[in-house]
Amino acid sequence: MPKLPRLNAQDAEKLLFSAGFTMSRSKGSHRIYIKEDIRVVIPFHAGKILHPKIVKQVIEAIEISKENDA
């Protein structure tokens, strides 16, 4: 498996928006994005790089949503 990219919260948000996700709500420093039945939670902390597990969740959610669209 190739290495995951290092993303901050703003970059992950751009990827989700470009894949058709919308921001459902926010709670504290976490933002919840949704598309159909797929939900992704992104912690927004200024200047921090997202944990690789969260980056993996974002990428997998985008891939699943693209499969559902096809």
- Residue 44, pLDDT > 90, answer yes
Q: Which residues contact 27 (CB under 8 A, 6 or more apart)?
A: none
- Residue 1, pLDDT > 80, answer no
Cα–Cα separations (whole angstroms), residue 19 to 15, 29, 46? 6, 22, 23
More confident residue, 32 or 67: 32
Across all residues in the chain, what is the average pLDDT?
93
Question: Domain ranges in the chain?
Answer: 9-69
* pTM of this structure: 0.90
**Which class is 9-69 in CATH?**
alpha beta
Tokens 């974002």 belong to residue: 58
